[in-house]
Structures are given as C-alpha cells and as structure tokens.
C-alpha cells in the first residue's frame, strides 16, 4: 500500500497500483511514465509501494510542449499540428518514453485537467501504453468538468487499468 500518498488517494487507486506493481515484478517488467496533466502523480504512486517500487524505471514530467520535445524526442511540428492533447502526441510520448529508458512498458498521459482556452475540452485526456515487444494502445477519455483533482484521479485510475491490461496481455 502506498505510504506518502495514502491520505490523498482513494483506496481503489492504491489497490490497483499495488496490483500493477505486483504484476510488473512477477513478469520482471520495468515501467516508465510520461505525464503531462497529472504532473508526475502516476510516477509518485508507482514509487510509493514498499517492496515493489523497483519495477519503476523512470518517469518523465513533460508539462510543456518544449519538454515533450526535449525529453521524449517529439517533433514540435506534430505537436503544433495535432495539439498537445491528442492521440498522436499521447502515442509519441509513450514511444518516446520507451526509447529514452530501459523500460519494457511505458504509459503516457496528456490532457486538460482544468479549464483552459475556449476550445479546450475540460476533462479530455489521451493515454497511450507502449510495449517494447509489442503494440501501442491508445485510449481517449472525456471525464468532464470535474475539477483538476477529479480529472487527475480519474486519469490515474485509467492509466493503472491500461498498465494492468498490458501486463496481463
């Protein structure tokens, strides 16, 4: 069970993180994250479980467009053309995290956690999960205007679901 994030996270998210780390340890998989709107919360959660945190290889907090380019190797033209919150960017983030790490599995999150520009959909989040030895899966979620904390918690839950499915598959 998570220690430092324990009072802030719902029990079901903590339990799902435990399960993901247990599966990763059993399969000897290393995990990486590439996070934008969650600001490193997934990485913090995956390093907060005693006895299993060694399954986490590294995390990238890439909140700005430039950070996505610098740290994950994304093409700035793709971000400008598709938007930072889009399927192509989420997929490129996950694949970039794999290229720039020793991980076997990488999960990316990019979205609008709170109100933004007039054409930004609050609660829109794109996820991608890339396996070094397989495919990259994408998921788009519309959590709605549930606040920054609500979107971030919902995003953590979805990200953990995707990691669990990839580890079982």
pLDDT, the chain, mean: 94
Closest CA to 96 of 127, 77, 70, 133: 70
The answer to whether 155 and 109 are in contact (CB under 8 A) is yes
The answer to whether 29 and 40 are in contact (CB under 8 A) is no
The answer to whether 89 and 62 are in contact (CB under 8 A) is no
Which tens digit of pLDDT belongs to each residue from 4-57? 555 678 999 999 999 999 999 999 999 999 999 999 999 999 998 888 889 999
CA distance 50 to 64: 31
Q: How confident is the model at residue 110 (pLDDT cuts 50, 70, 90)?
A: very high
Alpha-carbon Rg for the chain, nearest whole angstrom, is 15
Which pLDDT score, from 0 to 100, does residue 40 have? Answer: 97
CA distance 99 to 94: 9
What are the residues facing 56 on neighbouring strands? Answer: 31
Which pLDDT score, from 0 to 100, does residue 16 have? Answer: 95
Cα dihedral across residues 19, 25, 26, 29: positive or negative: positive
The residue among 51 and 159 whose pLDDT is bigger is 159
Closest CA to 64 of 87, 88, 84, 34: 84
Which pLDDT score, from 0 to 100, does residue 78 have? Answer: 97
The residue among 134 and 167 whose pLDDT is bigger is 167
Distance between terminal CA atoms of the chain?
24
Task: Please give the model's pTM, rounded to 2 decimal places.
Answer: 0.94
Which pLDDT score, from 0 to 100, does residue 6 have? Answer: 59
CA distance 124 to 135: 23
Give the number of other CB atoms < 10 A from CB of residue 36. 28
């Amino acid at each position: 069970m998570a220690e430092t994030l324990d009072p802030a996270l719902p029990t079901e998210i903590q339990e799902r993180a435990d399960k993901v780390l247990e599966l990763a340890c059993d399969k000897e998989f290393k995990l990486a994250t590439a996070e934008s709107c969650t600001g490193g919360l997934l990485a913090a959660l995956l390093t907060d479980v005693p006895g299993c945190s060694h399954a986490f290889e590294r995390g990238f907090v890439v909140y700005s467009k430039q950070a996505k380019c610098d740290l994950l190797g994304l093409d700035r033209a793709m971000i400008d053309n598709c938007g930072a919150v889009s399927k192509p960017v989420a997929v490129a983030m996950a694949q970039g995290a794999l290229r720039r790490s020793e991980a076997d599995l990488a999960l990316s999150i990019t979205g609008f956690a709170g109100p933004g520009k007039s054409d930004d959909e609050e609660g829109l989040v794109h996820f991608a999960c890339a396996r070094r030895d397989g495919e990259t899966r994408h998921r788009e979620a519309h959590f709605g205007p549930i606040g920054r904390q609500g979107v971030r918690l919902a995003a953590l839950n979805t990200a953990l679901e995707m990691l669990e499915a990839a580890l079982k598959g």
